[in-house]
Structure 1
Amino acid sequence: MSRSAIAVQHRSGTFPPPTLETLPVAVTANVARVRARTRSTIMAVVKADGYGHGAVTVARAAVAAGAGWLGTTSLAEASALRAAGLEAPILAWLHPSGIDAEAAATAKVDVAVGSVDELARLLAQTAPTTVRIHLHMDTGMSRGGCPRAQWDELLTLARRGQQARRVRVTGVMGHLPLADRADPVANTGAVAGMREAVRMVRAAGFGSPLTHLAATSGTLTDPATHFGLVRVGAGLVGIDPSGSVEMHGASRLTAPIVHTAPVGAGTPVGYDGAYVTDRATHLSVLPLGYADGIPRELSPQAGVEIYGHRFPVVGRVSMDQIVIDTGAESFPVGTSATVFGPDGGATPSVHDWARWAGTIPHTIVTGIGPRVSRSTA
């Protein structure tokens, strides 16, 4: 926003609130980048509200760019996509509240089944039509999926359920535990496990269901993991966990300055005076804090961008506010600061914020709180 526009808003007494802007054009570019790496069908995974970017917005952009499937954590997330008019096939695979057979059948959502008990509970329910299922096999993560020792039992129960027309096996899936290393050798065990699972599924009489193993990292670095479908979530919004492919950041977080003041050298800033100014300077406050997703523990390199320059975050992050040191510059209240974005230069990226907080970019983008306004470019 220009300085003249800020002056007009200052006279009116109102300013734009902190806002996370989603950039669908970046999602489109990221799908194209993935498409260049695989011939498999792309599933756009939009769990956790599209990695914090808005599930419907990201899903629409991804489908328009050529994604053939959508993926969610729960049936509730999948149903919200259906309510928004998205008609692409959807898979829900974590089921924190259990699998509702009727809801899955009614919404035409495939569900993953990762244990004998989970499948037995599903078969004990009634549904208006046959429920489509993907058999989730543990291929090395030990975090979910049916353990290898129980694959035979799972397949036997699934065959009974399919013969009774209660379920139809349409997919088989697993996960890559080491794909972020960007080393195909690290994936060989999981790939072998997936191939064994597929052989067993076919031998049990289920034909050749859709097979999927790779998420973003595997998709970008190892064609052997692709099978018939790849699941891309973080990559849609510009995050490659393997760090091997440059993706396009898909959001921009901005906030207005709400308070500014000149201070002298030796001025303590924030709780406990954890930072003390070493010179006369100007301090400005942004209305964002750890309740809004700003990490509380930050390195001294953390900063924000204003008019093409980066200014450091100083003092402790509060629940609702952060303080920036603008040096000789005195910005009026209402001036917009970019906390992160895809612009480059002085503008920090989500990867910068992850590094400053000692975490991963996923944590930054999914942690932006509900008090932050949302918009779409």
Structure 2
Amino acid sequence: MSIGCGDERIDSGAVASVDLDAVAHNVRELQQFAGDAAVMAVVKADGYNHGGVEVARAAIAAGAHELGVTTIGEALELRAAGITVPMLAWLHRTDSDFAAAIDEQVGIAVSTAGQLDAVVEAARRVGRTADLSLKIDTGLNRNGVAEADLDAVLDATAAAVASGSVRLTGMFSHLACADEPEHPANDAQAERLRDAVGRAARRGTPPGVVHLSNSAATLTRPDLGFDMVRPGIALYGMSPIPDLGTFGLRPVMTLSAQVANIKKVSEGESVSYGYTWTAPADTVVALIALGYADGVVRRLGGRFEVTIAGRRYPSVGRVCMDQFVVDLGGDSSGVAVGDEALLFGPGDRGEANAQDWADALETISYEVVTGIRGRVRRRFVGARSGEAAH
């Protein structure tokens, strides 16, 4: 089962609330940083696990000009939901359905001559002109047209444009060190992209738009904005550079679960598998109905806090597949079975945020929010959802 399943037979009471008003707020903030550049809202991986269709609609309503996804399948899901704005898919397999993308006017980014040939062939088969972007490898050495292949790909692109098979709607690249704003690689990559664009223009095929900036560059390097920026994690309210602050962004996801049980534990008694925590004094513990099958990873045990009725309590002992335990201390009068336990959110009710989990795990907030799964139900809140945001 995946997040958002809604099958009451397996409902653990865990909820990932997605605040669509926060999405809209973040788009408006990002547009301020982007200046004259348009905003492409990146909604890949089901909107970073927040709900791709719903996030996309909220982002578009707030002013996002275009959508970015990884796969054609993701783009087709958005089209099936009635979303008509321009969108771009940039990672393909050998069996990717370019014909379906062309039929649905999904922009296709290619990184190799072979992919370009496949798009041209699909366009001829469909009888429509494909919206083509060239992804340029400017130094990340991951995906993108390599420098050694660039002239040949540009020549083939010019021929495809001349034949009416494609229109060159964009050229772009991806930064390797954007979370270090002054890293020299950022300027070097921008210069390589400019050079590639110039080489395309000299062949009579200037791209419609040029884009480079991810979230971090959007927020810290306005000089790299080109025609459009591609924020991802910032759209969901998490800072791509936590050391530099929140940039006025608002976290979108709040994770909560129910208190399933409360019991007394005597001094010297231990809790959960392996007895990794022993009560130093008589205490009361609460059982929270969420575990590593749902994205509360096992190594978080004893390293995070939950908020119940406005007060934080530490987790103790090992996180289990379906549950974990928190120490309420000697006085549990403010906590009852069925109470909501907040694991992370924007912090409005004293709860931790996803970055706190990321710090505890020595990872990034992206991994935290995309890792929530299992029996967690997704709920959309905010004005666009028809519910009141909390």
TM-score (norm 2): 0.89
- State yes or no: 1:36 paired with 2:40: no
- State yes or no: 1:153 paired with 2:155: no
Distance (whole Å) between structure 2 residues aligned to residue 131 and residue 294 of structure 1: 43
Q: How many angstroms does 1:197 deviate by? A: 0.9
Distance (whole Å) between structure 2 residues aligned to residue 265 and residue 367 of structure 1: 35
Residue 255 to residue 97, structure 1, CA distance change in 2 (3 Å)? farther
Which residue does 2:332 correspond to in 1? 329
Distance (whole Å) between structure 2 residues aligned to residue 94 and residue 64 of structure 1: 26
Which residue does 1:8 correspond to in 2? none
Cα deviation 1:261-310 (Å, max 9, x = unaligned): 11111122111111111111111111211111112212744110001100
Contact 1:15/1:256 (<8 A) preserved: no
Distance (whole Å) between structure 2 residues aligned to residue 345 and residue 278 of structure 1: 29
Distance (whole Å) between structure 2 residues aligned to residue 72 and residue 281 of structure 1: 49
**1:325-364 equivalent positions in 2, closer than 5 A:** 325-327=327-329, 328-330=331-333, 331-344=335-348, 346-364=350-368
Q: How many angstroms does 1:96 deviate by? A: 4.2
Contact 2:286/2:326 (<8 A) preserved: yes
Secondary structure at 2:300 match in 1? coil
Cα deviation 1:72-130 (Å, max 9, x = unaligned): 11111111111111111111111246432211111110010011122123333322311
Distance (whole Å) between structure 1 residues aligned to residue 284 and residue 101 of structure 2: 57
Contact 1:283/1:325 (<8 A) preserved: yes
Which residue does 2:76 correspond to in 1? 79
Distance (whole Å) between structure 1 residues aligned to residue 373 and residue 115 of structure 2: 33
Distance (whole Å) between structure 2 residues aligned to residue 216 and residue 303 of structure 1: 28
**1:231-310 equivalent positions in 2, closer than 5 A:** 231-243=230-242, 244=244, 245-298=247-300, 300-310=302-312
Q: How many angstroms does 1:32 deviate by? A: 1.3
Contact 1:295/1:357 (<8 A) preserved: no
Cα deviation 1:123-155 (Å, max 9, x = unaligned): 333223111110000011101101111100111
Q: RMSD of the TM alignment (CA)? A: 1.8
Distance (whole Å) between structure 1 residues aligned to residue 150 and residue 77 of structure 2: 32
Which residue does 2:386 correspond to in 1? none
Which residue does 2:19 correspond to in 1? 23
Which residue does 2:379 correspond to in 1? 375
Aligned partner of 1:69 among 66, 69, 74:
66
Which residue does 1:204 correspond to in 2? 203
Residue 20 to residue 96, structure 1, CA distance change in 2 (3 Å)? farther
- State yes or no: 1:192 paired with 2:195: no
Structure 1's unaligned 5+ residue stretches are: 1-13
Secondary structure at 1:198 match in 2? helix
Contact 2:215/2:234 (<8 A) preserved: yes
Kindly tell me the number of residue pairs found equivalent between the two proteins: 364
Contact 2:11/2:376 (<8 A) preserved: no
Distance (whole Å) between structure 1 residues aligned to residue 112 and residue 291 of structure 2: 41
Which residue does 2:106 correspond to in 1? 109
Secondary structure at 1:78 match in 2? helix
Distance (whole Å) between structure 2 residues aligned to residue 153 and residue 15 of structure 1: 55
Contact 2:177/2:183 (<8 A) preserved: no
Q: How many angstroms does 1:16 deviate by? A: 7.3
Runs of 4+ in 1 over 6 A off after TM superposition: none
TM-score (norm 1): 0.92
Which residue does 2:225 correspond to in 1? 226
Structure 2's unaligned 5+ residue stretches are: 1-9, 382-390
Give the counterpart letter for 2:231 in structure 1: V
Contact 2:161/2:205 (<8 A) preserved: no
